[in-house]
């Protein structure tokens, strides 16, 4: 546990965090043009807000923890106008000035570290240890882009072969951005989009997931506290209606979306009508390859971490296990034992290693695949049921599940489940392992486990994926670009690529 968190452990109870939510989180409101705009029954210059009531749940119990109001297209229009107006001045700030605001966001998040961790546990259901990593990653992301913003030159000279002329290159912000983030990593995916957008000089409309609004809404307070100029960031709690209004709004220049392929296709179609710049981070069905020389216990640790962290609700989850046939049976035995020893429970319990799924809808999604597995007569090594946890029978729990020797034409092998479900197959040599790993519509991530680093690197270089780990858990650094190939999306986040995604080059030519 970090020093920041250990100094505030008294906050990390459900009762205390519920109090924080009631006192500090602005429910029933949108953050527009630097102000909290109440949504419940208030008339603005556009229309009277409709009764767009929305419940927020504790995934560990299934209980309603808050009721809020969601935005409509009217608030999107208001926010887009504010962001467009703010862009005129924000885009002209220096990189050092923007870095100051980004560092101020990080400072405020550090000061409220335990609150943010607790709110994430409360609304998302993930264990404290995972929520702590999330908040730390978000802070690191804001600091990283602060460094990039401060260091990036405003003008570079382009060498040419033409005598008598000069050519300058400038990097300019793409404009007003619509940032649409998912529910599985509150604050983290927000930072991945918002930090580089601000660093580049863009203004933004941010739509957090309506499922996990509570930790995300605290960001509005932070932006007010650091005196971010009005209109630079607007936070719009909303459902599909708001996302559609953002992606089709004429004042939006760029759309960055993370979520399912089905929604991503709609986002792409909506953005295409006005040729908006677009970034999509979509699905995954990533492979973990365990070579014959791998240490079985170490491999099992990586397998368990790759599929059961965040209850499998990770786009990069290594949900397809490819194991060399020579070690498959002893590995399966060790993996079964390790999986069945996982402590499953509510996020605030210190011993919890895997929490619930985020919602009843997500639990139904996983249950659907349990039924498909039964229809396909797959061999279930362990799990395959929604919950054996009598103390949490009302929550959204699924037991960690492993199916072995799964045919590659199985729906469980081919489709993203987004839950704690692992499918396995064996291979005879590296060539077959690479072929199986690449035989997917997705190509986001992969892991290779081997005692021979040279051979592992050779395998990794042949696997088609945007991010690959060798003998390591799924650590994602802000310096490393993130994104995939095939149907896993368009563009990159994080790293220098993440900043470039919010910039366009401009060249000026003039005589010597």
pLDDT tens digits along 368-424: 999 999 999 999 999 998 665 545 567 999 999 999 999 999 999 999 999 999 999
Return the pLDDT at 278. 96
Catalogue the E-assigned strands of 110-181.
156-157, 165-173, 176-180
Q: Both tokens of residue 21?
A: 């939510």
Residues near 254 by beta carbon (within 8 Å), at least 6 away in sequence: 174, 175, 176, 177, 178, 202, 276, 277, 278, 279, 502
Return the pLDDT at 91. 98
Q: Both tokens of residue 227?
A: 């005196």
Return the pLDDT at 9. 57
Contact present, 402 and 335 (Cβ < 8 Å): yes
Instruction: Flag whether pLDDT at 3 surpasses 60.
Output: no
The residue written with tokens 């390591």 in the block is 472
Return the pLDDT at 385. 80
Return the pLDDT at 167. 96
Return the pLDDT at 12. 85
Contact present, 307 and 317 (Cβ < 8 Å): yes
Q: Which of 281, 346, 416, 493 is catalytic?
A: 281
Centroid of chain to Cα 179: 12
Q: Which of 35-44, 331-340, 469-478 has the lowest mean pLDDT?
A: 35-44
Q: Which of 71, 315, 346, 416 is catalytic?
A: 315
| Average pLDDT, integer, range 262-268 | 94
Instruction: Flag whether pLDDT at 7 surpasses 90.
Output: no
Distance CA 33, CA 47 (A): 17
Return the pLDDT at 144. 98
Tell me the three state secondary structure of residue 166: strand
Q: Which of 135-139, 269-273, 338-342, 409-413 has the lowest mean pLDDT?
A: 269-273
Distance CA 385, CA 156 (A): 59
Task: Give the DSSP H or E segment for 80.
Answer: helix 73-90
Distance CA 265, CA 443 (A): 17
CB atoms within 10 A of CB 92: 10
| Average pLDDT, integer, range 472-488 | 96
Residues near 356 by beta carbon (within 8 Å), at least 6 away in sequence: 59, 60, 125, 311, 346, 363, 392, 395, 396, 397, 398
Q: What's the burial of 2, exposed, middle or buried (CB within 10 Å: 0-12/13-18/19+)?
A: middle
| Average pLDDT, integer, range 359-367 | 95
Return the pLDDT at 326. 98
Distance CA 286, CA 438 (A): 9
Residues near 386 by beta carbon (within 8 Å), at least 6 away in sequence: 363, 366, 367, 370, 397, 398, 399
What is the reported pTM?
0.94
Distance CA 386, CA 384 (A): 7
Percent of the chain topping pLDDT 70: 94
Instruction: Flag whether pLDDT at 43 surpasses 70.
Output: no
Per DSSP bridges, beta strands 503-511 and 165-173 are: antiparallel
The dihedral over CA atoms of 176, 182, 188, 190, expressed in degrees to the nearest 10, equals: 10
> Phi then psi for 422, rounded to 5 degrees?
-115, 135
pLDDT category of residue 50 using cuts at 50, 70 and 90 = low
Closest CA to 315 of 276, 263, 374: 263
- Distances, alpha carbon 118 to alpha carbons 15, 30, 190, 349, in Å: 10, 22, 17, 12
What is Dmax (Cα atoms) for the chain?
A: 80
Closest CA to 150 of 79, 100, 190: 100
Instruction: Flag whether pLDDT at 45 surpasses 60.
Output: no
Closest CA to 187 of 211, 208, 210: 208
Tell me the three state secondary structure of residue 98: helix
Instruction: Based on the residue annotation, tell me whether 281 is a catalytic residue of this protein.
Output: yes
Distance CA 177, CA 173 (A): 10
- Cα Rg, the chain, nearest whole Å: 23
pLDDT category of residue 11 using cuts at 50, 70 and 90 = confident
Task: Please name each of the domains of the chain with its CATH number.
Answer: 3-282+490-507 (3.40.605.10), 287-477 (3.40.309.10)
Q: Which residues pair with 507 in a beta bridge?
A: 169
Distance CA 333, CA 88 (A): 62
Return the pLDDT at 394. 79
Closest CA to 222 of 356, 360, 25: 25
What is the per-residue DSSP string for 251-303? T--EEEEES-HHHHHHHHHHHHTTT-EEEEE-----EEEE-TTS-HHHHHHHH
- Find the DSSP H helices in 427-478: 430-438, 453-462
Contact present, 310 and 124 (Cβ < 8 Å): no
Contact present, 218 and 225 (Cβ < 8 Å): no
């Amino acid at each position: 546990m970090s020093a920041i968190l250990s100094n505030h452990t008294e906050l990390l109870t459900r009762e205390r965090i519920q109090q924080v939510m009631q006192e500090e989180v602005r429910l029933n409101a949108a953050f527009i043009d630097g102000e909290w705009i109440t949504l419940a029954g208030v008339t603005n210059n556009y229309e009277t807000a409709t009764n767009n009531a929305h419940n927020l749940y504790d995934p560990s119990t299934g209980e309603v923890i808050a009721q809020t109001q969601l935005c409509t297209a009217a608030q999107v229009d208001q926010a887009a106008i504010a962001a467009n107006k703010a862009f005129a001045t924000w885009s002209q700030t220096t990189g050092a000035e923007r870095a100051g605001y980004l560092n101020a966001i990080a400072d405020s998040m550090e000061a409220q570290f335990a609150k943010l961790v607790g709110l994430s546990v409360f609304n998302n259901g993930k264990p404290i240890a995972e929520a702590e990593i999330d908040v730390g990653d978000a802070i690191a992301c804001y600091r990283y882009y602060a460094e990039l913003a401060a260091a990036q030159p405003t003008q570079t000279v382009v060498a040419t072969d033409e005598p008598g002329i000069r050519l300058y290159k400038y990097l300019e912000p793409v404009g007003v951005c619509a940032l649409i983030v998912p529910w599985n990593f509150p604050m983290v995916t927000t930072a991945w989009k918002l930090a580089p957008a601000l660093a580049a000089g863009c203004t933004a409309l941010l739509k957090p997931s309506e499922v996990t609004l509570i930790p995300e809404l605290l960001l509005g307070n932070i932006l007010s506290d650091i005196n971010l100029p009005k209109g630079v960031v607007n936070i719009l709690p909303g459902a599909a209606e708001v996302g559609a209004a953002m992606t089709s709004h004429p004042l939006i220049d760029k759309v960055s979306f993370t979520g399912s392929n089905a929604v991503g296709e709609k986002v792409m179609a909506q953005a295409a009508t006005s040729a908006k710049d677009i970034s999509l981070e979509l699905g995954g069905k990533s492979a973990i390859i365990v070579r014959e020389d791998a240490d079985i216990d170490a491999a099992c640790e990586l397998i368990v971490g790759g599929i059961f962290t965040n209850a499998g609700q990770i786009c990069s989850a290594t949900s397809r296990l490819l194991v060399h046939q020579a070690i498959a049976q002893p590995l399966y035995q060790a993996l079964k034992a390790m999986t069945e020893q996982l402590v499953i429970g509510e996020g605030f319990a210190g011993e919890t290693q895997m929490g619930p799924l985020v919602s009843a809808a997500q639990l139904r999604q996983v249950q659907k695949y349990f039924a498909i597995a039964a229809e396909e007569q797959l061999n279930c090594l362990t799990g395959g049921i929604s919950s054996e946890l009598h103390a949490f029978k009302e929550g959204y729990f699924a037991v960690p599940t492993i199916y072995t020797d799964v045919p590659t034409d199985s729906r469980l092998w081919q489709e993203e489940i987004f839950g704690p479900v692992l499918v396995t197959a064996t291979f005879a040599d590296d060539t077959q392992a690479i072929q199986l790993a690449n035989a997917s519509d997705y190509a986001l991530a992969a892991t290779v486990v081997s005692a021979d680093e040279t051979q592992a690197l050779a395998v990794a270089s042949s696997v088609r994926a945007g991010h690959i780990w060798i003998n390591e858990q799924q650590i994602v650094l802000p310096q490393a670009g993130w994104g995939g190939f095939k149907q896993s999306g368009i563009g990159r986040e994080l790293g220098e690529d993440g900043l470039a995604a919010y910039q366009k080059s401009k060249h000026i030519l003039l005589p010597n």
